A and B are shown apart, each in its own frame.
Chain A
Amino acid sequence: MKLKTKLTLFNAISKLVIVTLFILLLPGIIENINKSYTDSRLLKQKNKLLQIVSEKGIKTYIENGESYGSYLPLKEEYISLDEVEPGYYLDTIRDEQRLVERDTIDYRILSHTFKAGNRNYLLEIGKSTETIGETTGPLQNIAFQILLGMILLTILADQIFSTYVLRPLNIIIRTKLIGNKFPKFTVYKEVKTSTSDFQHLDLSIHKMVETIETAFQKEREFISNASHELMTPISILQSKIENMFEQDDIADELKLRLMEMQKILNRLKSITKTLLLISQIENDQFLKEDIVSARALLQDIYEEISIRLQDRNISLAILVIEDVQLAHVNKFLLFNLFFNLINNAIKYNKTDGEITVTAQWVKNNYTISIADTGIGIADDELPYIFNRFKKLKQSLSQDSFGLGLPIVKSIATFHQMGINVVSEKGVGSTFTLTFPQKVTADSPVN
């Protein structure tokens, strides 16, 4: 998940939790506020009444022992004053029901006994709870709406701010990390940001890429120069050996040794040429302008390689029925790619073994697979088979210097082809090459 998404999600969820909590608590809170407000009003009214009684005497309300009672027309408030037993004492505020003219109504009632002129009186002031609740609803609604609005506003603000503040990170990821083939030789473009963390990140990535690029470039140059420089001395040695070989007065025993030298020189030549080829491929010195028929190419390789098949009695079946044209390729390189793969399939096969070459469309990509019945590759060695000069344990007996698969790999990379290996030790290996769509763009897709 992206950092921005995470931040937004966290913000929204945390705020939602707070809002929900608040909404759940709101009725209780408002009720409490209302109650205490009502209670304080009731107390004020009581005090006012008591003040009137003490100033003007109880007779203002009660004469001849009758009770006093009064309520508003809609019965939302009432007041009553009664004479009670001298020992009776009450001073409470409670929710109770009262019957007022056949209506039973819930009231918040303040009951208070007081003495006036040696008599004991009970004062009740009631306020209907319905009227108290009336304000609770709208109040709750308004509070809820304001809150919701504020929350939405903050979420929006958070979103905008995090987008703004994370923009440099986005740019760094998009332009410097995703879809970049390493090493790439591009100029450093600073990502503008005032966040020092991102400045640091940007600069560090740049420095790392630069270091990798330099190392890569140096390695390429070294291989290219070294192999070029080696060509001339090898050439001189080869000519000298050939000329000596032609001398009539040379003993046969010496000739044999010259031949050994020639063989060793050939090995040196082969390694140098291969390294040079890899470096030329990696430096993009080949054109990709050929159009090749996949079937004809494999047939050419079959002719070239048949002597090796015959040598170990291995059968090679090329099951490529459809004739697919491969465009934007280099014929020489493709030839060498398949030659090396099939040659390996022969070398690491068992006598009387089999090799099967099949072509297939996987979605829109053309693939060619080379399957052998050979010794296979151990799982722990599989990740290293494309490394230069890496010789696998089981291939040590072979006359190779470990550059066959690196050639294959660099040619495949040069053509943007995918290469996939499935292998089981003792059973065989299958190498599958996947061509990019542009190579087969002119061919019909099945």
Chain B
Amino acid sequence: MNASLLSNRSLAETTSIKLYKFHGGVHPPFHKKDSNQKPIESAGIPSKLIVPIHQHIGKSAEVVVNVGDLVKKGQLIAEKSDVISAAIHAPTSGTVTYIGEHSIPHPSGLAEICVIIETDGEDDWGHFKLPPIEDPDNTDSSVLLERIEQAGIVGLGGAVFPTSIKLASSGIKHIETLIINGAECEPYITCDDRLMQDRSADIVKGIQLLQALVKPQRCLIAIEDNKPEAIAAMRNATAELSNIEVVAIPTIYPSGGEKQLIEILTGKEVRSGGIPIELGLMCLNIGTSYSIYKAIYLGEPLISRIITVTGNGIQHPQNFEVLIGTPFSHLAEKAGGYTKMAENLIMGGPMMGFAIPDDAVPVIKATNCALFISATSLRESNPAFSNQPTLPCIRCGKCMEVCPVKLLPQQLYWHIRAKDFEKAEDHSLRDCIDCGCCSYVCPSHIPLVDYFRFGKSEIREQKVALEKADLSRQRHEFLLYRKERDKREREEKRAAHKAALQEKKAASKSDSTTGGQSSSPKADAIKAAMERAKAKKLARTESEKMDTKESDTKTVAKASTEEAQ
């Protein structure tokens, strides 16, 4: 039966498991047909690759090559530097011409350390291709995990979390369901769609490796029902496999969000601040499964990925297999060049992606889409709203109805506007997933997500400031305590000394009356003064000894001398 002939509705009904609904969600125009009609093509080798060393969540990798080095394809150029970090490899052969700051795809156009490789066009692996693992089924899982780590594989769904760590965490708890996320709910993006259509067999091999690694009871591949061809291809590729099921889920944004997808498939909610593994679930992206296949069966590290190049700013929208570090401008060229409407460049989709100010920046492991689009297609310059700028909130509650996390955006907005961040926290601001549904539906066109990002960063800063303030308060309180303690000790000493002196005096008095000792009051005074000085010195060295543990010795010593004087 050809699944592509079925309507969307009946596709969802072909799924045997019970599906649930998450709260809210929206149906923006998806524009998938723009770019999913042609098969994946290679974007070729640009003359220059700009490879940032920080493309993942966690610590930057450490550069292990020098300027002038000749590198081969697949050669390690920056190694994993911490537990949560990922290796970076040369995407093709060439010469390292520069190591230093270069602007990277970042919402603020920040610069990061990048390794720039002048390519030689040979695309020569040298001896850097890892040996393919011939029989993964009979290979120890630690070997497979090590390979995944070596290959620098990170989650390609957007979070870019090092995959080896995620997989290793399956030791914490028994994994009941392995979820392969092929929802691809963002408008315009079709890289996973096309990958599933073109390379379903390889993806399935990757998924089988994942099954061998995390040993789930079942494996679900979730695909939105607006991708009938991909569903058919994946069903075809898994027809023989009883423990993998392709699930067609209804098309609604943001069904591809990890927690939302889990809710759709299982009806379970991942605890706020928690991770899916607590529920015995693990979620990986289609692209990640494919790169795992490549690392293990072909011995290729993560040096390329599929990227959708689309939008009305580009002549021929299409999906490309792109070397990491390829500048966006090269992609635009490959797709037939810009149209007159190329006014904005968005990395990722139009709901959660971010705008890039310059096409000279490179694509990274997290890049799933390069969207070149006209200003009039976007919210702020949309001619339909030209006489409707941002109006005040009328509390209509549309945002609340579409929020997948069941927040009250209309209330959060008030509190953040009033900079009442405590109230914003009371309204669970930290659970916001930045999906943008609220901004999308707002009839007043309020950029709600911007407010929420602002609120979150302010709260973060306040927390840091609070911790700092707490620390200095503790230090100050300890300082006061120490001063008090020193003073008390000194006084006790002085009192003891005085008492001793008086005793002595009394004794010498009785001496002089009985034995006629030659001790003048002057000599006594000198002796007493010397003893006082000695005691003072003792007290000081003692207090210093105690203070060496602290950083602010000087102040205390100074204070104590001042007091002593």
Are A and B bound to each other? no
Residues of B within 8 A of A (CB): none
Residues of A within 8 A of B (CB): none
